[in-house]
Amino acid sequence: MAEIAAGAVVAEQVVSTTIEGGAVAGYAIAKKTLPLKATFTRIAVSDLIRRHSHTISVVKGKAYIFGGFTPDGTLAGNEFHQLTLSSKEKTDYKCIPALPEDDASSVPPPRAGHSASVFGKNIIIYGGLDEAGNSVEDGSKLWSFDTDTLKWTLRTSQGPKDCQFYHGSIVHGNNLLLYGGYSRPAGTNDLRSLPSLSSVDVTTGVWQAYEDQALSPVGTPAGLAFSQDKVFTVGIDSKFQAPVHYYDLQAATTDARWDTIPVPSNPLVPGPDTSRDGAGVITISTGQGRKYLLYLFGQKHGDGQPTSFPPKSQELFSDAWTFQLPSTNTSLASAKDAARLKLGMDSGEDSWAEVELKLHKEEFAHEGKVHPGPRSFFAASNFDDTSVILWGGLNPKQEVEGDGWIIKME
């Protein structure tokens, strides 16, 4: 309550200043928070790393690409591809072979459809499928790659019998949260959908299943994002625009459940209106407490369970959308939202808007690719608070791409 009261006081002060003739403050309040603009910058590196269903992680300004399928349909190796993004003109590249931390340890087998999450200086790899389309290993194995020593450690846990693939993961504190995807034991056709949220403590290996796990379907993979102690994912079960589901990790046990932010029943309200697989879901910030979900690209979701992985589709998308999340308490963004509400204006919270493309000035001077184009099952991760790095994926011809992009939001 104190935070709300503080926000109201700030809002009152801002409104008063505006009424008294503060043109700058008035403009700041009147300026809408949506839509955002995006600048796409192609990374200056060759396309030798052609992948889909792989991952990319950023640690201390370096990007690490792991796993996935290659253009001939085979699994990529278990090496890491490291990119040091020092400038637009120069990108340093290094291939890091898989080496164990000590002689008694091992290294992860090749895989695709896995997840990669940054935990301090380490990258935690979990799950994935093998070349036969089955769970690559049992669910107790967490692989930790140390970006300082460039070596692997196996962290065992109390995990399920078979690992997930095409799932979503994020790190919250010491916990790796996992949601969705599938599992299939080797040598069987027993494909199991996993519509549940669970977590594993990376330091102790202890698993936890969250209560009230019933949730309507989400895409493949099940993208997860995180903001203010809430886990977010984007659903595929609306005729008008994609629903946003969230799980409050701080809620009391009796109140802990998946909730859905209401979707407008008006088809004219903007929003991604086609169910998607192979899309990206990432939390971004534009500063001062303002946060969004970035939902980009992907392909049309098929009916029923997939018959192959990744699911195939002839309809791919090149659009990107942002969903405005609640502003951080006591931030400038929350003060602005309170002021707009006091003036009877929409704050933009819980609203979708399509991202607008902003071109580099130099792009007008010469021909060049200014946008990745339609693609799905690419790898994407936060590069910093306002930027996303994207690599590879499938294009509409089902060809495997090998280029990288930095997407700067403003």
Distance from CA of residue 75 to its chain's centroid? Answer: 23
Write down the pLDDT at residue 112. Answer: 98
CATH number, domain of 223, equals 2.120.10.80
- Angstrom distances, CA of residue 109 to CA of 52, 149, 367: 17, 19, 42
From CA 328, how far away is CA 338, in angstroms rounded?
Answer: 12
| pLDDT reported for residue 30 | 64
**63 within 8 A of 75, measured Cβ to Cβ:** no
- Lateral strand order in the sheet of 151-156: 115-119, 122-126, 141-146, 151-156
The total of structural domains in the chain comes to 1
Structural domain span for residue 336? 2-409
57 vs 115: CA distance, rounded Å? 10
Nearest to 281 by CA among 312, 311, 242: 242
Strand 141-146 and strand 122-126: pairing?
A: antiparallel
Q: Is 148 exposed, middle or buried (0-12, 13-18, 19+ CB in 10 A)?
A: exposed
What pLDDT shows up at residue 298?
96
Contact 283, 225 (CB under 8 A): yes
Asked whether the beta carbons of 208 and 226 are under 8 A apart, the reply is no
Q: What are the average pLDDT values for consecutive 10-residue runs of the chain, which has 410 residues? A: 42 42 53 86 82 97 97 97 77 94 89 98 97 94 97 88 94 94 89 88 90 69 91 82 88 77 78 90 92 95 85 93 86 74 74 89 57 96 95 96 94
The pLDDT of residue 48 is 82
Axis-axis angle for helices 2-19, 23-30 (nearest 10):
120
The identity of residue 60, as a single letter, is K
| Residue 153: burial class (beta carbons within 10 Å; 0-12, 13-18, 19+) | middle
Alpha-carbon span 314 to 405, nearest angstrom: 23
